[in-house]
Chain A
Amino acid sequence: MEQIQTDSVDDEVIVVEGLTKVFNKTVTAVDHINFSVKRGEIFGFLGPNGAGKTTTIKMLITVIHPTSGGAKILGGDIAKQGRDVRAAIGVVPQEYTADEDLTAMENIMLCADLYGIPRQVSKNRSMELLALVELTHFKDRRVETFSGGMRRRLELACGLINRPKVLFLDEPTLGLDVQTRVATWNYVKMLKKEFGMTLFLTTHYLEEADALCDRIAIMDHGKIVVIGRPGELKDSLGGDIITLSIQKEQQDITDLISKIEHVKEVKLEKGNYTIKSSNGEITAPLIIEALRKNGQIVTKLALTKPTLNEVYMQYTGRSMRDTEESADSVIAQRITMGRANR
């Protein structure tokens, strides 16, 4: 019998072991993290600013050296085979890195040259990629005149010029408007589907991680606090939450509700019932039904699905809203960090 191994070690395109970065011998930006990413996966790195996401990605793309520990990308050691690793991966950095004085075409051809791609190949490939990101009409315009979304798309095209097997995206939608963000998500999904590419992205938009990623790691204070599929992470919180109120001066119905299918926990607080259920859509109508049979009237019922925001709260002790900042302050912070890191 032929055995097909789909989960062999070869399928782990990124393997990180004990990766650590200490700046100035005092600031531990990344603290002994371990994880692996499988071929074809979209892996999301989530966390507040300064959690160590960008430092991690910069070590993986071999731009900064780890203090200790290491990682292998496509079998290449990030510390010893930096050049080979860089040749095999694609990078879309957080900032806009294109040269503003050059045209879109000149920029993408420059990227091709930096990867050592011969001209007869790179010309066609550049045109293909510009078409992919819908910049064909603007190819001879200087990047200076581009909008944020156009620049982001150009960065994406540049990151794909060497047909990478693994693509790193550092905050790919930072500072973009909603439409452009959704468009960027669609590109990312398309890359996975069409090219079977493995994508590693950092973000601090929870809905982005939820919509895109196969697996998520939440990072805080340089450590990975939790790792798993978005669904798993939400389930780990104990399921859906139903809040319910009934007409006043009626008997306690805690016991009654507890017996209903999928219900895991019932709490009565200030006249409102909070019910945890592993399947809220099924439980909610059953509760209404049961109460009606019992002669009680439901005045209000709300069903809340746990979001990554709750997961995030649970593991970092902060709401994402508290840490979300404007693009400007993020960049300023990054420059400040950069100075601190020297």
Chain B
Amino acid sequence: MNHDIEGQVSKSRFHGLWALTNRELKKWYQQPFVFVMGIIQPILWLALLGKALNLGAIIPSDIPGVSQSAIMLSTFGTTDYFSFMAMGMVAFTTVFTTAFTGMSVVWDKRLGFMNKVLSTPVSRTSIILAKVLASSIRAIFQAAIVALVAFALGLVTGTNFAWWSIFGVFAIVFLLSVGLASLFTALTLRTTRMEMPQAIFQLITLPLMFASSAYFPIDKMPSWLQAIASVNPISYTIDAVRRLMIFSDGFGPLPMDFAFVGVFAVVVTAICVMLSWRYLNR
């Protein structure tokens, strides 16, 4: 045995963080079935729902003075509803992916893995951040698949689009994922029941989806719904994604979008980490 390096221990906090993140990712990409299903799901969303809701077709084109494309443009910011919805889905797919973070926290508790990790010197913050990080990496991957499928199905890009828009999209989707993953983790920190994350997922997903600009522009909603949608970080992410990819009227509120989602991510993650100090060590 080599006694010189025997006692050498890396005190770096990233060591444990990366090990735990890597574990989560391994569990994901080593399961071909789960991996493929995760790719197929957004394709179905886009191909079926995105193409079925052909809103442009309901505006009659034979009435004099009515321009189909002008109405579409003023309502959706683009002439193509599919592109409008597809970019909403790029952002919204993160909700489906990050919702599983809460589930995996509960699984780890039930199967005893959490007990093992808690008895090692790795910090509680790392345990939670690893969950959030792994989940966000998965979410970005999903978002990239949705974007690719959207391109394949005929996405109409706007004049704002440039090659670096892609990185902007990844950045804001990552921020949103971090926030949502922390939110779902925080909500399941205290429970060991599987029903809990499922109930939360069902309770939160639909309101989040409809009270956002994923399918319909916020300024055309009734005012009470506008109030909810305008504090929904998903709306800001969707706006940023659309602005970067399919809009043509400049970047205007883009910095505001990033700031709002960024603050959301930081605040929720901080709350989640603080709750983990309290509830992981009873």
Which residues of A line the B interface, CB within 8 A? 61-65, 82-84, 86-87, 91, 93, 95-102, 106, 110-111, 113-118, 120-121, 124, 128, 158, 163, 335, 338-339, 341-342
Contact = CB atoms under 8 A, between A and B. Distances in A.
A114 B120 CA distance: 6
Contact of A121 (B5, B11, B119, B123): B5
Nearest to A91: B119
Contacts of A124: 2
Interface of B: 1-2, 5-6, 8-12, 15-16, 18-20, 23, 26-27, 30-31, 111-113, 115-123, 190, 192, 281-282
A117 B9 contact: yes
A97 B115 contact: yes
Contacts of A93: 112, 115-116, 119
A120 B1 CA distance: 12
B123 A83 contact: yes
A115 B9 contact: yes
Contact of B112 (A83, A95, A102): A95
B185 to A, nearest CB: 17
B15 A113 contact: yes
A108 to B, nearest CB: 12
A96 B20 contact: no
Contacts of A99: 23, 27, 113
Contacts, number: 101
Contacts of B11: 116
A102 B26 contact: yes
A128 B1 CA distance: 10
Given A63-B119, A116-B12, A100 B6 contact: no
30 contacts: A63-B115, A63-B282, A65-B281, A83-B121, A84-B121, A86-B120, A87-B9, A95-B111, A95-B115, A96-B111, A97-B115, A98-B113, A101-B26, A110-B19, A111-B120, A113-B15, A114-B117, A114-B120, A115-B9, A116-B11, A116-B16, A116-B121, A117-B8, A117-B10, A118-B5, A121-B6, A121-B8, A124-B2, A339-B192, A342-B282
Contact of A114 (B115, B121, B282): B121
B119 A101 contact: no
B6 A113 contact: no
A125 to B, nearest CB: 8
B31 A114 contact: no
A193 to B, nearest CB: 17
Nearest to B11: A116
A114 B22 CA distance: 12
Contacts of B18: 113
Contacts of A97: 111-113, 115-116
Contacts of B6: 121, 163
Contacts of B192: 335, 338-339
B5 A116 contact: no
Q: Which of B27, B113, B117, B190 has the most CB of A within 10 A?
A: B113
Contact of B10 (A101, A116, A335): A116
Given A83-B123, A114-B117, 6 more contacts: A84-B121, A87-B9, A93-B119, A114-B16, A116-B9, A117-B9
Nearest to B127: A114
A63 B27 contact: no
B116 A158 contact: yes
